[in-house]
């Protein structure tokens, strides 16, 4: 019998709505053999998830992960890292610096949102989402809760989107450095959701080669919403560049309610456990 996994999952430690413990319980209830916790620029949930899995008798297997927001030619690129050492000093110093920058940005964002007519402070958002690395999704939810907009999508559309009046830019690590950082922490770097960047076929091809030259090892070819033909094309691309294949849902709980853990959108996702050993991750 085929066993299934999910290698792309967010918790309350970034912008998901389930705690690491709840994710372990849900994975177990869904019969997943393993899942990777891949919070945005954050590793604080990993130990908690592991402890919960131990409490449940060692299943599901929790794979330590991260999703690093990086940048290449003005595009935001997400690099997943698997099986890395969450306590590695290089990672910790990157995350510390990143957090400091986020704090500055969050203060500026609160000022802009207040100026737009929705009074909000960083302290208030921190109190509402005590575990999270705060960012736009949290401000969006506060704006909904205050009745200023009707949905998170509307908050992004009218205020927080990249071109919106309350957007504040932030510095991101170059994609090649994100790959290197993951390698230096003993992890396996993987390009997340390659079709989300709006690249042409040729551009994606050359980008994959560039990242491979920097040490990229894998590509997320199975993803919520990708058709069978999308995934097949991505698997051919991965093969051409000597990259292993991974897959995950990008589950965020109620923040992306259409996506289900393990099975994606309308059950279109199925990631077999065998991918993990093919990738050499475990
Ligand atoms: P930040 O890192 O603070 O810039 O926020 C980026 C996060 O906002 C992404 O990881 C998404 O989860 C979320 N996001 C970006 N654009 C949208 C959108 N149009 N609608 C809903 N969520 C979005
Ligand atoms: Fe997210
Ligand atoms: Fe992502
Ligand atoms: Zn993600």
In terms of residues, how long is the chain? 282
The reported pLDDT for the residue numbered 31 is 97
**What's the 10 CA to ligand 2 centre distance in angstroms?**
7
The reported pLDDT for the residue numbered 255 is 86
DSSP conformational letter for 60 = S
**For residue 240, how many other CB atoms are within 10 A of its CB?**
12
- Atom 18 (ligand 1) nearest CA: 156
The reported pLDDT for the residue numbered 228 is 96
- Output the tens digit of pLDDT for each of the chain's 282 residues: 899 999 999 999 999 999 999 999 999 999 999 999 999 999 999 999 999 999 999 999 999 999 999 999 999 999 999 999 999 999 999 999 998 999 999 999 999 999 999 999 999 999 999 988 899 999 999 999 999 999 999 999 999 999 999 999 988 999 999 999 999 999 999 999 999 999 999 999 999 999 999 999 999 999 999 999 999 999 999 999 999 999 999 999 998 999 999 999 999 999 999 999 999 987
Between 201-214 and 175-184, two packed helices, what is the crossing angle to 10 degrees? 40
**For residue 151, how many other CB atoms are within 10 A of its CB?**
12
Closest-approaching ligand to the CA atom of 79: 3
Q: In angstroms, rounded to a whole number, what is the distance separating the alpha carbons of residues 200 and 23?
A: 35
Pocket test for ligand 1, best of 137, 160, 254, 256 (most atoms within 8 A of CB): 137
Q: In angstroms, rounded to a whole number, what is the distance separating the alpha carbons of residues 108 and 131?
A: 21
- Atom 17 (ligand 1) nearest CA: 156
The reported pLDDT for the residue numbered 133 is 87
Q: Which residue has the tokens 């989402």?
A: 129
**What's the 254 CA to ligand 4 centre distance in angstroms?**
14
Bond before 60 cis per omega within 30 degrees:
yes
Ligand 1 site residues (CB inside 6 A) read: 15, 40, 135-137, 152-153, 156, 161
Q: Which helix (H) or strand (E) holds 125?
A: helix 122-128
SS3 content of the chain, % helix, strand, coil (to 5): 45, 20, 40
The reported pLDDT for the residue numbered 185 is 97
**Helix, strand, or coil here: 221?**
strand
- Atom 13 (ligand 1) nearest CA: 137
Q: Which of 42, 18, 38 lies closest to 30, judged by CA?
A: 18
CA angle 176/196/221 to nearest 5° reads 80
Residue-wise burial string across 161-195, b where 16 or more C-beta atoms lie within 10 A, e elsewhere: eeeeebbeebebbebbbbbbbbbbbebbbbbbbbb
Between 136-145 and 89-115, two packed helices, what is the crossing angle to 10 degrees? 40
**Helix, strand, or coil here: 54?**
helix
């Amino acid at each position: 019998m085929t066993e299934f996994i999910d290698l792309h999952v967010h918790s309350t430690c970034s912008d998901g709505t389930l705690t690491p413990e709840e994710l372990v319980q849900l994975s177990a209830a869904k019969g997943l053999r393993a899942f990777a916790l891949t919070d945005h620029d954050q590793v604080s949930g990993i130990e908690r998830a592991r402890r919960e899995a131990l409490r449940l008798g060692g299943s599901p297997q929790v794979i330590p992960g991260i999703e690093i927001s990086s940048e290449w030619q003005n595009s935001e690129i997400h690099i997943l890292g698997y099986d890395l050492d969450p306590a590695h000093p290089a990672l910790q110093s990157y995350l510390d610096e990143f957090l400091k920058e986020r704090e500055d940005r969050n203060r500026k964002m609160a000022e802009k949102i207040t100026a737009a007519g929705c009074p909000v402070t960083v302290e208030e958002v921190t109190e509402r989402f005590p575990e999270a690395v705060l960012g736009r999704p949290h401000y969006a939810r506060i704006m909904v809760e205050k009745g200023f907009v009707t949905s998170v999508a509307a908050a992004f559309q009218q205020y927080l989107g990249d071109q919106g009046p309350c957007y504040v830019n932030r510095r991101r690590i170059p994609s090649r450095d994100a790959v290197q950082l993951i390698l230096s922490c003993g992890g396996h770097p993987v390009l997340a959701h390659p079709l989300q960047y709006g690249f042409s076929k040729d551009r994606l091809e050359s980008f994959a080669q560039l990242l491979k030259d920097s040490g990229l090892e894998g590509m997320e070819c199975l993803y919520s919403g990708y058709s069978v033909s999308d995934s097949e094309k991505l698997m051919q691309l991965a093969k051409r560049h000597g990259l292993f294949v991974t897959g995950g849902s990008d589950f965020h709980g109620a923040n992306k309610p259409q996506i289900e853990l393990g099975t994606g959108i309308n059950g279109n996702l199925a990631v077999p456990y065998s991918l993990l050993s093919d990738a050499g991750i475990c």
